[in-house]
Amino acid sequence: MKKTYIKYDINAACRAIMQEQLTGLGIDYELEELGEIVIKKKVPPAIFMTLQANLKRYGIDILDDQKSQLIQRIKNTIIDMVGRDKLPSSKISHYLAERLQMNYNYISAVFSEHTHTSIENYIILQKIERAKKLLLHDLSLTEISHLLSYSSVAHLSGQFKKMTGLSPSAFKKIISERKKIAHTN
């Protein structure tokens, strides 16, 4: 038996699932930004319930209350922001307020209240997740710290260790060793 690894784009997979399910149920829709769909015509309750059940099998939930929707929009905006080639030059609070067209203090309060963490901590978590991916693509710590707008390699390394318990080089070494073991089995 040989173990096989896959690489996937979660956003592309989710879009494909949504398109398949919505089209299959005959729902007139338009996919907008990450996690946003415009349903163009009223959907009968039975079909909507079928859609919810079908999506649930894939771990996708339809958010029906405004605060849950706002929190997901905040998360999606942060994930999109961290995934760009360069983080915005403006303050993150201004960036989020502008993108979401809401007061940052309100955004921050709702996010903290419902996720039990701050927007700043969520951004750090997303930056470290992106740093992990970039390390696996053989980018140097200098390149990664620049891409993720860290003030220095030491700052990136410190946050990485604080969030993962490992230094970036130890993380990369462990992943390399796991790949070697997997290829020999």
Task: Report pLDDT for 118.
Answer: 96
Element (H, E) at 38: strand 37-39
Q: Is 72 contained in some domain?
A: yes
**Contact criterion met (CB below 8 Å) for 75 and 86:** no
Residues 45 and 91 in one domain: no
Task: Report pLDDT for 178.
Answer: 82
Residues 56 and 85 in one domain: no
Q: How many CA atoms lie less than 13 Å away from 72 in the CB half-sphere?
A: 15
Q: Is 161 contained in some domain?
A: yes
Residues 58 and 105 in one domain: no
| Side chain identity at residue 64, one-letter code | D
Q: Is 52 contained in some domain?
A: yes
Task: Report pLDDT for 28.
Answer: 93
Q: Is 168 contained in some domain?
A: yes
Q: Is 1 contained in some domain?
A: no
Task: Report pLDDT for 185.
Answer: 62
Element (H, E) at 39: strand 37-39
Q: Is 2 contained in some domain?
A: no
Residue where a domain stops, chosen among 18, 34, 62: 62
Task: Report pLDDT for 79.
Answer: 92
Residue 30, domain extent: 8-62
- Give residues with Cβ within 8 angstroms of 157, minimum separation 6: 141, 167, 168
Residues 25 and 90 in one domain: no
d(CA 3, CA 138) in angstroms, rounded, equals 23
Residues 107 and 170 in one domain: yes
The stretches in the chain having pLDDT less than 50 are none
| Side chain identity at residue 110, one-letter code | V
Q: Is 3 contained in some domain?
A: no
Q: Which CATH number is 88's domain given?
A: 1.10.10.60
